Amino acid sequence: MYMKTITVNNQVGLHARPATFFIQKANEFKSSIWIEKEERKVNAKSLLGVLSLGIVKGTDISIGAEGPDEEAAVLALQQLIETDFREFAG
């Protein structure tokens, strides 16, 4: 298992389009991936799960993964958040 804590700093947090981009990236990996906010833990590959956390700007979340590409998955999602989803901003 590999896990990191990250602060979400983009304007709209992790909902709507950013959540969709986050899930698309998470689905590129074989590992099981989840997001934790406070006491709640959801599947990072589930749009409804991610949206249900209500992640807004300034929220600390933990991203964890377990599987063959767990570290790569967490680091890729961390980079996506830290660069304000620039990979998808076309």
pLDDT digits (tens, 9 = 90+) for 32-70: 999 999 999 999 999 999 999 999 999 999 999 999 999
pLDDT digits (tens, 9 = 90+) for 21-41: 999 999 999 999 999 999 999
> What pLDDT was estimated at residue 20?
94
Contact between 37 and 55 (Cβ < 8 Å) = yes
- In the set 2, 4, 15, 24, the catalytic residue is 15
Known active-site residue 16: no
- Superfamily for domain range 2-88: HPr-like (3.30.1340.10)
Work out the pLDDT band at 90, boundaries 50, 70, 90: low
> What pLDDT was estimated at residue 21?
94
Cα–Cα distance for residue pair 74/62, rounded to 1 Å? 10
- Parse the chain into domains and list their residue ranges: 2-88
User: Could you give the strand order of the β-sheet that contains 40-43, starting from the edge strand earlier in sequence?
Assistant: 2-7, 60-66, 32-37, 40-43
